[in-house]
Amino acid sequence: MTTTERDASRSVAPGNLDTTITMPGRELLTVLARHLPALRSMATPNDRDGTFPVQTFRDFARDGVLGATVPVELGGMGVSRLHDVAVALLRIAEADASTALALHAQFSRGITLTYEWRNGPPATRDLAERLLRSMARGEAVVCGAVKDHPSAVTQLRPDGSGGWLLSGRKMLVTMAPIATHFVVSAQAPVAGGPTLLLAPIVSRNAPGLSVIDGWEGLGMRASGTLDVAFDDCPVPAGDVLARGSVGAHGDAALAGHAVSSITMLGIYAGVAQAARDLAVDTVARRSTIPSAAKRTLVAEIDARLYALRATASASLVNADELSPNQEMDAEERGRRMMTPFQCAKLMVNQLAAAVVDDCLTVVGGATYVADHPLARLYRDVRAGRFMQPYTYVDGVDYLSAQALNLERDNNYVSVRAAPPVDGR
């Protein structure tokens, strides 16, 4: 972050989540504006049919959107501020939350790979640069595969010639229908030592990789959220990123977890905004003066929406301020980024759902059909509580442990990989 950008971030008033800070952020919004009418028109049919908007992402690739968070020197748009990425996702989510969720996967990967390119060892920098340049050209679509399917633990084992073999199955992999690469959370057991946490980057055409269709989600139905299975997929040694070890209890990783996920706050702010605008427009077009009860609900909707956007904006500005600070203690930096993010996430998830609920009440029984836009928003907004880091339950555990100074492994990838206590 430059001094000019840091000063600009301080000038952004909390609550002003509709304005980008940087010129690259403004340029991204200009490009996205051309796509919003088509997104709105296809949101309902894509949701109804569970259809991923493949053509939309082809158009994004053509216009450079898939390389938005890639540095300019590698051919991308150079959007580096988390605040600006969240604003962009908010605008998309107002039109279609499923598309915003899928695009978040690409934006997030651009940000995290840029960190690897700037700070990693030589082999990691080379890998990151190769992927980032391909993303900037609209060729690489890179998404994360974190959550293990209940049927399998995803593991790496040496192939005997310096590389690795990957086996297992991941679920809830968003944007999977068009992904060209998967960043996979995997375990690598070590004889006599702690199990390593690694992140192999696996090409879609790798032998043994299969994308399994059949997503029937309650919400975010057009996000392309599928299972991906690995059956002894070969992974070159240079295509694996180190992610620590199980049970390390180190909070330095929290900074990366925060950076990779905090911009999703914009998605749920966008869903709430879309619901509010639809409800207010519906009431305003009616010939009768709205009842006092409806006017009260409208006022409360706007108050909640302001509080939601202010909370999200403040946490994003905080993360942008701390993220580039490599001089402070890494664990303290991780906690100071994650804790405001989790406070904001908890409140955004609660307030966004409350806004949408009240919007259904304001509009009335017409919303209680599957094809009504508010019905889609009602289902989509509830996805926020299940998103890592953290889910609602894990977020409560994290925040209460911070307040009460309780010992806890805050790396959710490590926690998932840890063996059950007492065999349970």
pLDDT digits (tens, 9 = 90+) for 186-244: 999 988 888 999 999 999 999 999 999 988 999 999 999 999 999 999 999 999 999 98
H or E element that contains 198: strand 196-203
pLDDT less than 50: residues of the chain: 7, 9-10, 422-424
Bond from prior residue into 390 cis (ω within 30 degrees of 0): yes
Report the distance separating Cα 150 and Cα 170, nearest Å: 9
Asked whether 411 and 250 are in contact (CB, 8 A), the reply is yes
Nearest C-alpha neighbor of 280 from the set 303, 304, 298: 298
- Nearest-angstrom CA–CA distance, 126 and 53: 32
Question: Residue 173 pairs with which residues in a beta bridge?
Answer: 226
Residue 243: Cβ-neighbour burial (10 angstroms; 0-12, 13-18, 19+): middle
pLDDT at 172: 96
pLDDT of residue 16: 77
Residue 318 pLDDT = 96
Q: Cα separation of 386 and 391, whole Å?
A: 5
Residues 338-372 have pLDDT tens digits of 999 999 999 999 999 999 999 999 999 999 998 99
Whole-number pLDDT of residue 423: 45
Specify the DSSP class assigned to residue 192. Answer: T
Collapsing DSSP to helix, strand or coil, 226 comes out as: strand
pLDDT of residue 420: 54
Report pLDDT for 2.
Answer: 53
Phi, psi dihedral angles at 320 (to 5 degrees): -65, -35
* CA-based end-to-end distance of the chain: 46
Other Cβ atoms closer than 10 A to 219: 21
| Helix 292-322 × helix 265-285 angle, to 10° | 160
